Structure 1
Amino acid sequence: MREKGKRPFRKKEDGDRESPRSGDKRPAGRNTKPLGGKGKKRPAEAEEKKPPRLNQYIARAGVCSRREADELIASGKVKVNGRVVREMGMRVHRDDKVEYEGNVLRGETLRYVLLNKPKGFIVNVKDEKGRKTVMDLVKNACAERLYPVGRLERDTTGLLLFTNDGDLARQLTNPATKVKQIYHVYLDKPMLEADIETLMGGIELAGDKVKPDVVNYVQEVEDGTQLGAQFHSGRNTFVRGMFEHFGYKVEKLDRALYANLTKKDIPRGKWRFLKDKEIALLKVMVGKTKKKA
């Protein structure tokens, strides 16, 4: 049942603008580009490109030229994963840690892309069965190779974050971070208030005790078939399972909010780069979690 004093979940269409908050100036991030993935295309083989060589990685990090990087490597001033490396042709993989003079180097620009995922796309880098993946939608976003943060089922729509920032991705998908998520749930029939009350008390699914933070009827839909459900953790499949547990069929599931991110100005199937302020807020959020741990 709706909690007293809580505003009902308000339905928002894809790409709807939100009312600006007083004093909230949102400067566009330097990575901002037009929606829709339009822009410079990568070569067709970009998804399969080999990891960069160590000298190239150092040069991309802005330390020096490739030729000068060869000299640094030969002189034993570069470490990879804690050990001195003198192989100039060594390839640096995504999870490798490269250090020069005690500083960890970034071999590429960190990118953060937010997609409003449409139905029918697998959340995977590749699919063995040749089905469409979300990578098809963001492949032209940037030259860097992106990875989806977390998962959504094939027919679940809504917000999905991509990045090549492995540290942030791991922290966001760590249950201890308790990332706030809001789903718009469409049911085949009205949900009884008694069932909502039971759900709010927690139920057992697949051997785990699960419960939403808040469940409210959508304000503009009076028949009780649409709800807003807020969670701080849990798999996408659990969201469906919570309602199916009571005999309701989830006809549509849409993630309307992820952490501090919304679908504002992102039509279905389109993407945009995160603004600098949004990236900073994400890092502050996961940073607070790390301190508590």
Structure 2
Amino acid sequence: MIEAGEISVNGKVVKELGYQVKAGEVVRYGRRTLNPEKMVYVLLNKPKDFITTVEDDMDRRTVMELVKAAAGERIYPVGRLDRNTTGLLLLTNDGELAEKLTHPSNQIEKIYQVEINKPITTEDFEAIKNGVELEDGFIKPDEVSIITPDAQVIGIRIHSGRNRIVRRIFEKFGYDVTKLDRTVIAGLNKKELPRGQWRYLTEKEVIRLKYLV
């Protein structure tokens, strides 16, 4: 494979047998990234006031503090949740899977529980169900449901990974989102995973994720 020019290091084809790969270099076989590390898959139930980044130059708390005991390998968040958004976040060192899960064309399913500052009207509820034109294009949720009798907690199932998409949908109709919680991502749920805690994915879950996209 090396002699045939199918292996690249940092984007350059390497045909030299015995080439020593240095730490941090990206090795690819065709479009597939090769990684000598053990693959680690961690599911976190993120609390408020943690930002979804590996490091922060403003010294704010990051999700990495919550999962520091999970792996000796360097894992990183797949996608992001706003600082004030709670719920499920996947972290891994599997670059190939992370890329698949975040690529817009794969449209990974997510379910959110949304709490708003006032009861949603029937008119606005129906409008959201039928789809909304935002500044970056049209968005139609897969499913929307009213969860509480006061009509201030809404469930929304959506495939889009666009930035702040759920908050922007409700803001379009004049609602402030007071709480936003991601309860499902790519078929993974929060069952028996308290806020601020993490767990490893099972082998079956990892396999299903790889075949999901």
- Please give the TM-score of this superposition, normalised by the length of structure 1: 0.65
| Alpha-carbon distance between aligned partners in 1 of 2:28 and 2:17, rounded to the nearest angstrom | 12
Say which one has the larger Rg: 1
Number of matched pairs: 202
Moved over 3 A (4+): 85-88, 103-106
In the other structure, the counterpart of 1:282 is: 209
| Alpha-carbon distance between aligned partners in 1 of 2:126 and 2:161, rounded to the nearest angstrom | 19
In the other structure, the counterpart of 2:193 is: 266
In the other structure, the counterpart of 2:63 is: 134
Alignment partner of 1:119 is 2:48: yes
Secondary structure at 1:233's aligned position in 2? coil
Choose the corresponding residue for 1:249, options 176, 182, 189. Answer: 176
Choose the corresponding residue for 1:92, options 15, 18, 23. Answer: 23
| Alpha-carbon distance between aligned partners in 2 of 1:112 and 1:253, rounded to the nearest angstrom | 24
Unaligned runs of 5+ in 1: 1-78, 287-293
Asked if the contact 1:153–1:236 (Cα under 8 Å) also holds between the matched residues in 2, the reply is no
| Alpha-carbon distance between aligned partners in 2 of 1:94 and 1:181, rounded to the nearest angstrom | 33
- Please give the TM-score of this superposition, normalised by the length of structure 2: 0.88
Q: Once the two structures are superposed, what CA deviation does each residue of 1:247-293 show, in whole Å capped at 9, x if it has no partner?
A: 1110000000001100011100000000011111111111xxxxxxx
Q: Once the two structures are superposed, what CA deviation does each residue of 1:215-257 show, in whole Å capped at 9, x if it has no partner?
A: 1011xx2110001000012335111010011111100000000
In structure 2, the CA distance between the partners of 1:194 and 1:280, relative to structure 1 (3 Å rule), is same
| Alpha-carbon distance between aligned partners in 1 of 2:96 and 2:202, rounded to the nearest angstrom | 19
Amino acid at match of 2:27: D
Asked if the contact 1:152–1:236 (Cα under 8 Å) also holds between the matched residues in 2, the reply is no
| Alpha-carbon distance between aligned partners in 1 of 2:83 and 2:33, rounded to the nearest angstrom | 37
In the other structure, the counterpart of 2:138 is: 209
Asked if the contact 2:33–2:95 (Cα under 8 Å) also holds between the matched residues in 1, the reply is no
| Alpha-carbon distance between aligned partners in 2 of 1:192 and 1:152, rounded to the nearest angstrom | 27
Secondary structure at 2:164's aligned position in 1? helix
Q: CA deviation at 1:162?
A: 0.4
| Alpha-carbon distance between aligned partners in 2 of 1:121 and 1:215, rounded to the nearest angstrom | 27
Identity of aligned residues (%): 47
- Whose helix fraction is larger, Structure 1's or Structure 2's? 1
CA RMSD of aligned residues (A): 2.0
Alignment partner of 1:158 is 2:108: no
Unaligned runs of 5+ in 2: 1-6
- Whose strand fraction is larger, Structure 1's or Structure 2's? 2
Asked if the contact 2:33–2:96 (Cα under 8 Å) also holds between the matched residues in 1, the reply is no
In structure 2, the CA distance between the partners of 1:252 and 1:236, relative to structure 1 (3 Å rule), is farther
Asked if the contact 1:204–1:210 (Cα under 8 Å) also holds between the matched residues in 2, the reply is yes
